[in-house]
A = this chain, B = another copy of it.
Amino acid sequence: MKATIRDVAKLAGVSVATVSRVMNQNGYVNSETEQKVNRAMKQLQYVPNQMARGLAGKRTKTIALILPDISNPFFPGLARGVEDIAQNNGYTVILCNSDDLGVKERSYIEVLKKKYVDGIIFATNNLVREDLERLEEAQIPFVMLDRAPDMKSGCVITVDNFGGAKAAVEHLLDAGCKKIAHIYGPKELVTAKERLEGFEEVARKQPWYTPTLLVPGDFTIDGGAKAVEALLRNHPDVDGIFAGNDLMAVGALKALNRRGISVPGEVAVCGFDGVNLTEITQPELSTIAQPIYQIGELAAKKLIERIDQSSSHYETVELGVSLIVRDSTKKS
């Protein structure tokens, strides 16, 4: 029914090895023979069975992307970047949502091993060193985002959270803010921590600085809103807020709105990440934009590079972020 390599070989009057050589463009093949084989393949509408290829050749042309939750606005763009590059290189992407649960991440890794994926991209936070070491042993190339556990192998892609946070605060100062608060994300996350440190780096030197200007959110809209409520209780005179991510900035905006506090008039707000959401709020949100799509692209490129050359040296790349000024910080 469905043509196999042996059918092609028979029709072309050659051996299966020759057909394989033609397909993979390796080894010596006379160009006339090649023509014959190609014709036979076309005639039979031959489609090589990836499964068999994988079994024999140990390559599945499949990579996996493990992320906390594709519903989180940060990830679709990233996933798209990964997928585009993958597609261009003949790879296919398996999507895995871990909800940032260590168990799920680990169980996914097991499944992915069974499926012999060629590599894995992690945009997730709960893997411990041990897990990564297991990957190393299994010889599965991987790329991690936002996390730099120093190891012998693996590639880590990060962005300049510290610098970005500093830029955000400086921008708020430039905009004329006289008392700036920071809503920070879960301290277990490096990104959240670095942004907080960036904030402090600049804020500490300001006359108005006091530790109670640091309030915890949890990287969610709701968390951001609640943080603002809490903040206003202690500091009704705050006139600038730097949220650790855009979702919390949105929450902050909502809370301020409910309270009838005008943005940017009374309080300026700046987010971090640069997700699309920031363009649809009212006012539109200023933010420190990460090159989300490009991070995805880069992660995929690096991973494929590693797969193709089966190299695994440790490597880390830091990307820049950029301040995008929109209405939420235009105090005029």
Please, which residue of chain B has its CB at the minimum distance from the CB of A82? B95
Q: Is A281 an interface residue (CB 8 A)?
A: yes
Contact A83 B54 (CB under 8 A): no
**A76 touching B71 in the complex, CB below 8 Å, given contacts A115-B62, A282-B281:** yes
Contact B80 A70 (CB under 8 A): yes
Q: Is A20 an interface residue (CB 8 A)?
A: no
Contact B77 A71 (CB under 8 A): yes
Contact B95 A49 (CB under 8 A): no
User: A52 to B51, alpha carbons, bound, how many Å?
Assistant: 7
Contact A97 B84 (CB under 8 A): yes
Q: Is A14 an interface residue (CB 8 A)?
A: no
Interface string of A69-101 (1 = CB under 8 A from B): 111110111011001100100001111110000
Q: Is A150 an interface residue (CB 8 A)?
A: no
**A80 touching B69 in the complex, CB below 8 Å, given contacts A47-B114, A55-B52, A280-B281:** yes
Q: Is A13 an interface residue (CB 8 A)?
A: no
Contact partners of A50 in chain B: CB under 8 A: 114-116
Output the least CB separation between A16 and chain B (Å): 16
Q: Is A231 an interface residue (CB 8 A)?
A: no
Q: Is A226 an interface residue (CB 8 A)?
A: no
Contact partners of A279 in chain B: CB under 8 A: 221
User: A115 to B116, alpha carbons, bound, how many Å?
Assistant: 13
Please, which residue of chain B has its CB at the minimum distance from the CB of A64? B92
Contact partners of A265 in chain B: CB under 8 A: none
Residues of A within 8 A of B (CB): 47-52, 54-55, 60-62, 65, 69-73, 75-77, 79-80, 83-84, 87, 92-97, 110-116, 221, 250, 253-254, 257, 276-277, 279-282
| CB-CB nearest 7 A-B residue pairs | A282-B282, A95-B95, A51-B54, A50-B114, A51-B55, A71-B76, A70-B76
